[in-house]
Amino acid sequence: MDEEPEELPMLPDPPEEPPLPGIILLGRFQPFHRGHAWLLEQALSHPDCPKELPVRIALGSANQPEDLANPWSAEEREQMVRAWVAAEAPHEEARVQVVAIPDIDDPPNWVEHASRYHGGPGILFTSDAPTAELYAAADWPVVNVELMRRQDFEGWRIRDTLQMLSTVSEHEVSLEVACATIPESVSRLIIDNGWHARLAFMGLPVEPVG
């Protein structure tokens, strides 16, 4: 008999009072790459995003166990966002906020669940059609933008590259390759701290052969 999948803990706990409405960018950010940086730049300057509202990065999958799809913790992903903001938009540091949200694997109830963490109703800023549909169905204002070169900024491709780099000893070579799809400030954070090294030991389980 197959074992029941282990239930994920609902961590972190939501704040006692949800944050005030803001402009929400929702994703896993595994890692924070150039596509995410472009979205954040657009959210900070878009005419439909009032300047008086904070831009709140909502880190999904905060309760997922570490694996190749989710190699970095919410705390590490927040450091990635902070590194980019400090390097590229230091004047917006006070406006950019970060919250972590656990998964519930229940799309119809996602917006209600997530709002306890990121606040609402505010404005969803996204390039992801299914997410836009969920929030629009919950009567949220949604700003849709089209992400250019989406195929170049697919998280699994970038993680595969970092997994390959985990076996490369030359620091500058690793940094140069990572910077092709990840902002330099974030690439340095990952490579300098060896955050990519853990990917060498991750992957799908396989049966031994021979």
pLDDT in tens, 65-117: 999 999 999 999 999 999 999 999 999 999 999 999 999 989 999 999 999 99
Q: Is the peptide bond before 121 cis (omega within 30 degrees of 0)?
A: yes
> 96-100 and 123-126 as β-strands: parallel, antiparallel, unpaired?
unpaired
The SS3 assignment for 26 reads strand
The domain ranges of the chain are 23-150
Residue given tokens 């990917």 in the structure block: 199
Residue 210: pLDDT band (50, 70, 90) is very low
Task: Give the global pTM.
Answer: 0.91
**Superfamily classification of domain 23-150:** HUPs (3.40.50.620)
For residue range 144-169, list pLDDT tens digits in order.
998 777 777 889 999 999 999 999 99
H or E stretch covering 25: strand 23-27
